[in-house]
Amino acid sequence: MEDKSKYRKVNVALGKQPNIGPFPADQLIPWVIICGLSYYLAHGLFRLNWVWTGSIAAWGMATWWIITANGVWRILSKFVATPNWTRIRCLYQPVVNSKIANSKQKSKIKKI
């Protein structure tokens, strides 16, 4: 009786990756896109038969599955542009020298 109160029942699916049969669920949308592209390229553009179209789709899906096995973010995060920040310390130098600018303004005022 005391052993039952020590342990809590937990959902065994917590912390696991969702699956659709033996396949990971996060691969479903990329595989649909790969199948669509392979159909468009192989069957539509190059007029290949269904065996080649299916082979190209299977090759694309297998390649995507191998590349993203440890997480899609590991491969796709390499293509995100990061900002390039640079720190520079230099003295401020005005574009127009203030002494020359002031003397030109004074000479213009005197002429008028």
Q: What is the pLDDT of residues 47-93, one digit of tens each?
A: 999 999 999 999 999 999 988 887 877 777 888 877 788 777 888 77
pLDDT of residue 108: 62
Confidence band of 109 (pLDDT split at 50, 70, 90): low
What would the two tokens of residue 103 be?
Answer: 């003397």
Between CA 55 and CA 50 the distance in angstroms is 8
pTM above 0.75, yes or no: no
Query: What number is the average pLDDT over the span 11-30?
Result: 87
Query: What number is the average pLDDT over the span 22-46?
Result: 94
Measured distance between the N- and C-terminal CA atoms of the chain, rounded to whole angstroms: 107
pLDDT of residue 18: 86
What's the alpha-carbon Rg for the chain, to the nearest Å? Answer: 33
C-alpha separations of 60 from 17, 18, 32, 54, 69 in Å: 22, 22, 11, 10, 14
